[in-house]
Amino acid sequence: MTAFWALVRRDLHLALRQGGATMLVLVFFVLAITLFPLGIGPAPEVLTRIAAGVLWVAALLSALMSLERLFQADFADGTLDLLALGRLPMPMAVLAKALAHWLTAGLPLTLVGPPLALALALPVEALPAAWLAMALGTPCLTLLGAIGAALTVGIRRGGPLLALLVLPLYIPTLIFGSAAVDAAAFGLSPAPHLLLLAATLCVALVLAPWAAAAALRLALE
C-alpha cells in the first residue's frame, strides 16, 4: 500500500509543481461553458434545457485535454519500465495514476461545474444532484480515458487518436450524467440515473486498470 500512495503522492507533487497544465484545463472548462449563453442567447428556457448537456460535454472535452499526458512523460523518460518492474502490479499503478489525475483534473471540474451551470439557468435545486453526478461521472472519464491514453502512449501527437478512441467509451457516462442533472432540473428524481452512473463507475473501476495495464505492457515491448 505504501507503494500505491507513494505513486499517488508523486503524481500530485508533479501536478502541483507544474500547476499550469491543471489550471489550463479548468480555464478551458469554464470558457467552454460560458461560451454557450453567449452563442445561443440569454433565453432561460432554452438554456435550462441544454444546461446538463453543456456541462457534461464540456467536462468530457476538458478530461480529454488532460488525459493525453497521463502516461506520456513516464513513458518518455523510462519511468514506465521501472513501474512495470516495481512492486506495484501494473493495474494498481494505473489506478494510482488515475486517482492522482482525478484529484487534479476531475475533482476541480466537479466542484466548479455545477455552480457554473447556474449561469445556464440551471435551477438551484438541481445543484446537489449535479454535484453528485459529476462526482460519480468524472472518475469514469479518467478511468476510461486511461485506456485510450495507454493505447496511444507511444504515438507522437496521439491526441486526436485518443479522442477517437475514448469519446465512444464516454457515451454512457454522458447519457446517464446529463439525464441525472436534467431530471433534477425538471423536478424529477435523479436517483435512477445516478445509480446507473454509479454502475458505470464500478465497471470502469474493475475493467479499465487492467485494460490500460495490458496496453502499457504492449507499449513497453
**Does 21 contact another protein by CB under 8 A?**
no
**Does 220 contact another protein by CB under 8 A?**
yes
Question: Least distance in Å: CB of 16 to another protein?
Answer: 9
**Does 69 contact another protein by CB under 8 A?**
no
Q: Which stretch binds another protein (CB under 8 A): 7-15, 112-120, 123-131, 133-141?
A: 7-15
Radius of gyration of the chain (CA): 18
Q: How far is it, in rounded angstroms, from Cα 106 to Cα 54? A: 16
**Does 88 contact another protein by CB under 8 A?**
yes
Q: Where are the alpha helices (DSSP H) in 118-190?
A: 127-151, 159-169, 171-185
Q: How far is it, in rounded angstroms, from Cα 11 to Cα 56? A: 26
**Of 82, 111, 191, 206, the one binding another protein by CB under 8 A:** 82
DSSP classification of residue 88: S
Helix (H, G, I), strand (E, B) or coil at 44: helix
For the record, the C-alpha cell of 191 comes out as 436517483
**Does 14 contact another protein by CB under 8 A?**
yes
Nearer to another protein, 43 or 87 (CB): 87
**Does 13 contact another protein by CB under 8 A?**
yes
Q: Which stretch binds another protein (CB under 8 A): 36-44, 81-89, 105-113, 143-151?
A: 81-89
Helices (H) and strands (E) in the chain, counts: 11, 0
Question: Least distance in Å: CB of 80 to another protein?
Answer: 9
**Does 83 contact another protein by CB under 8 A?**
yes
For the record, the C-alpha cell of 207 comes out as 475493467
Residue 121 in contact with residue 169, Cβ under 8 Å? no
Question: Least distance in Å: CB of 70 to another protein?
Answer: 14
Nearer to another protein, 199 or 218 (CB): 218
Q: Which stretch binds another protein (CB under 8 A): 6-14, 114-122, 167-175, 200-208?
A: 6-14
> Which residues make up the interface to another protein (CB under 8 A)?
2-3, 6-7, 10, 13-14, 17-18, 73, 76-79, 81-88, 220-221
